[in-house]
Structure 1
């Protein structure tokens, strides 16, 4: 099997999209009785890997029934339109707040272009390709779709952003939760015997972070007693229901810490710089609790982008937005 494909069991495969660095951004391929669905796609540059995964598993392009971005941020959905061109039977299922951006990605493109410039947009994302309106549909809260008889239930999942849904797969007892359940980089795993114990970092990426909504969503996810969470950044986390609850508790404790830091710095003239400094200190202290002594400089390097984005998102949440340095949709 190619090294960018990981078999997670239950007919679920994580595909490393190659975005940013290895094992940073995942798309998922679910296979059931010869039919398939993609959940998140990465950017346009991930599409060859997604198609290669189909080829490796002996699946025709016509075998794909669904393409489901968890939300329409470009590291999750930038490749949807280009991928759909290769999948003649597939339908795109998109949160109702994000559907228009898949059918007409002009706003996504212009927003990102104003931040990155054309050279960087071409390098990181490529031209955004629209999805034909007659091949795209909006999801609804509580909706159940089927993949060859395998039920997948979607719920509205705000907190990270308002155009986010999550997908429950009873077969694997897991949620495909995009960014709602945070980020977990494999570099921070702690080895415990035969298992590894993950660490979760909340993401308050601008512009729609809502800690109250996030807590409500996480509580709803936990109601099903999940034994696994499938994160876009990165991979499956959780060994059993107790481990998933541990991960949720740790993440939400960090959310509380982040919002307390932001509120304390609301009026500071150096708010952004201090936010970044204090967020990094919060995360590094939590990592020490997670895994003991570690290379703090290396960890700070891995976390640098998320510290910047989380600081920006918290500033937007405070209601005193400065221009985001990264593209996000309204």
Structure 2
């Protein structure tokens, strides 16, 4: 087995897509009675790893029934079109707000260029392949698909993005959460428990919607959560509740620290500084031995994107109040 494939339980494998650094961005492969589904797909450069996972498990390309992006941000769905081209039997199950972007990725790429810049998008994501419309299935809230009789149920889960759904896997009592349940890297394992934090990547952060989405997930009393960044977390109903409380507490803290900075002359840098301090404090409260440089290195991209997302949210809030 390749070192980028981590077998979990219940036929689930976490695949390190290779994006940014080791154990930063995951795709999940669910296998049930010889049939398979991918949840998230990384980017084009990730596709050889996803196909290698099939080979390692003795699965043919036509054994894959579903490719399921949790949402259409490019670190989750950038490679989905290229992957679909290799999987002749697969359908794509995507949020209805994201379906058109998988069929025609041009607006999706334009949005990414606005966040990352044209050169970075071209270098990192390349040519995002469209998916034929007849292979795309738009999900609805509460909809269930089956993988060899194994039910996978979708809920609409805004908060991080309006084109986000989460997937309930009753077999493992777990949610595939994309970015709605935040991010938690393996380096964040600490004596008092794993640390996680919200991700407010531009442009659709909505704190109240996020709170409601998390509450809906907790109603199922999940034992496991499978965030894309990175890997399975939880292990008990109580641990998932602890993680949810930590996520929501920080969401409130981020909103509280952002509002006074709305009119600051160097707002973005002020937001980055405040967020970095908040995350380091919460991580250390769990007993982490990571030093300042290690924390800053692990969270550099997330602090930058969270500050951008909070800035967009502040501007949107100001317009609605005008």
Q: Do they fold alike, i.e. is TM over 0.5?
A: yes
TM-score (norm 1): 0.93
TM-score (norm 2): 0.95
TM-superposed deviation, 1:112: 3.1
CA distance in 1, matches of 2:121, 2:143: 34
CA distance in 2, matches of 1:190, 1:269: 37
1:304 aligns with 2:292: no
1:11 aligns with 2:2: no
TM-superposed deviation, 1:203: 0.5
Residue in 2 that maps onto 1:106: 106
Contact 2:191 2:286 in 1 (8 A): no
CA distance in 2, matches of 1:109, 1:292: 38
Q: Could you tell which deviates more after superposition, 289-298 or 94-103?
A: 289-298
Q: Which of 313, 319, 324 is equivalent to 2:315?
A: 319
Residue in 2 that maps onto 1:139: 139
Q: After the TM superposition, which residues 222-261 of structure 1 pair with which residues of structure 2 at under 5 Å, given as runs?
A: 222-261=218-257
Stretches of structure 1 lacking an aligned partner (at least 5 in a row)? 322-330
Residue in 2 that maps onto 1:20: 20
1:156 aligns with 2:156: yes
Contact 2:190 2:288 in 1 (8 A): no
Describe the superposition over 1:244-265 as per-residue Cα deviations: whole angstroms up to 9, x where unpaired: 0000001111101100001111
TM-superposed deviation, 1:205: 0.8
Residue in 1 that maps onto 2:54: 54
TM-superposed deviation, 1:299: 0.6
1:213 aligns with 2:238: no
Describe the superposition over 1:187-240 as per-residue Cα deviations: whole angstroms up to 9, x where unpaired: 111257xxxx32111011110000000000000000000000001000000010
Residue in 2 that maps onto 1:264: 260
CA separation of 1:245 and 1:116: change in aligned 2, threshold 3 A: closer
TM-superposed deviation, 1:111: 3.3
CA distance in 2, matches of 1:253, 1:15: 30
Over 6 Å off, 4+ runs: none
Structural RMSD (CA): 1.4
TM-superposed deviation, 1:57: 0.3
Residue in 2 that maps onto 1:326: none
Q: After the TM superposition, which residues 68-107 of structure 1 pair with which residues of structure 2 at under 5 Å, given as runs?
A: 68-107=68-107
